């Protein structure tokens, strides 16, 4: 906030009201580089994910999108760079520390244990997040409010569920930790467009109801753009576009970036 703005908000007695800082971004990453076995995949990437924003990340296969998400959730250690979560440097670069700071990841491929029932998967997630028994029921109810269809199959083994149902379970499991920043890695994989819409809309609504920040990696551009505030395009480990989805409505422009 500029000095002139601050002056104009002074009360009639001249006393300045408490200063309202702009809220810190959900995630602010600066100069991240990362790779595998000496091969650099992310190259000096900086990113701001604002609170209450859905940021869609697209790019060709192998561009480095999943690697970036893994770095942001502490699953992969960057070789350079730094990050803050809601204005704070996480205590460690681990999923536990990033989770405690409010970040959750829904990995590509769902990652649900096929032999466990949905209730068991949720129980395990609550246990590993350290949620005491007394608070677990409330957390599950919260998730079922967002994704009520899970009620229909909560006693079934995950391996017997359809792709869309498994994706709901995977997202529900992440929501159990009450994240303020949700990283979603290609949730539409294997889903018909209509199913993906049904899945993504209630999640997107959490931006409006809870101010959740969502970083959505997607290839399903049409459906993803419909819920996104901003788009990043990645090519070979670097961002080559940052702008509004409407700027990419022109198919030719999108193809040019790919």
Min dist. Cβ of residue 35 to ligand ATP (A): 7
Name the residue nearer to ligand ATP (CB basis): 103 or 126: 103
Q: How far is residue 223's CA from residue 201's CA, in Å, rounded to a whole number? A: 10
Q: Where are the alpha helices (DSSP H) in 56-162?
A: 65-72, 95-100, 118-128, 133-146
**Residue number with CB closer to ligand ATP (176 or 184):** 184
- Which lies closer to ligand ATP via its Cβ, residue 63 or residue 169? 63
CB of residue 245 to ligand ATP, shortest distance in Å: 19
Q: What is the smallest separation between the CB atom of 217 and ligand ATP, expressed in angstroms?
A: 7
DSSP state of 117: B
**Which residue, chain included where needed, has tokens 């803050």?**
84
User: What is the rounded CA–CA span in Å between residue 241 and residue 250?
Assistant: 14
β-pair partners for 232: 57, 242
State the minimum distance, in angstroms, from the CB of residue 189 to ligand ATP: 9
| Collapsed DSSP state (helix, strand, coil) of residue 146 | helix
Residue whose CB is less far from ligand ATP, 63 or 103 = 63
Query: Whose Cβ is closer to ligand ATP: residue 150's or residue 218's?
Result: 218
What does the binding site for ligand ATP look like in residue numbers (CB under 6 A)? 36, 41, 59, 61-67
Q: How far is the CB of 219 from ligand ATP (least distance, A)?
A: 7
User: Could you give the residue ranges of the DSSP H alpha helices within the chain?
Assistant: 3-8, 65-72, 95-100, 118-128, 133-146, 163-175, 193-210, 221-227, 251-257
């Amino acid at each position: 906030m500029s000095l002139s703005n601050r002056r104009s908000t002074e009360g009639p007695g001249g006393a300045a009201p408490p200063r309202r800082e702009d809220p810190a971004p959900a995630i602010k990453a600066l100069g991240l580089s990362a790779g595998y076995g000496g091969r650099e995949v992310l190259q000096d990437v900086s990113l701001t994910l604002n609170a209450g924003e859905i940021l869609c990340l697209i790019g060709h296969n192998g561009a480095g999108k999943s690697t970036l998400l893994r770095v942001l959730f502490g699953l992969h250690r960057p070789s350079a760079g730094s990050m803050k979560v809601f204005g704070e440097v996480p205590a460690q670069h681990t999923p536990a520390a990033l989770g405690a700071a409010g970040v959750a990841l829904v990995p590509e491929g769902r990652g649900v244990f096929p032999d466990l029932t949905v209730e068991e998967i949720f129980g395990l997630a609550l246990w590993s997040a350290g949620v005491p028994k007394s608070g677990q029921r409330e957390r599950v109810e919260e998730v079922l409010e967002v994704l009520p269809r899970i009620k229909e199959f909560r006693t079934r083994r995950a391996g017997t569920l359809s792709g869309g149902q498994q994706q709901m379970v995977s997202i529900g499991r992440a929501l159990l930790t009450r994240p303020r920043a949700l990283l979603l890695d290609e949730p539409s994989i294997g889903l018909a467009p209509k199913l993906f819409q049904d899945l993504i809309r209630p999640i997107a609504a959490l931006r409006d109801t809870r101010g959740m920040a969502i970083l959505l990696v997607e290839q399903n551009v049409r459906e993803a753009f419909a819920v996104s505030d901003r788009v990043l395009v990645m090519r070979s480990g670097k961002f080559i576009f940052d702008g509004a989805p409407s700027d990419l409505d022109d198919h030719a422009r999108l193809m040019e970036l790919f």
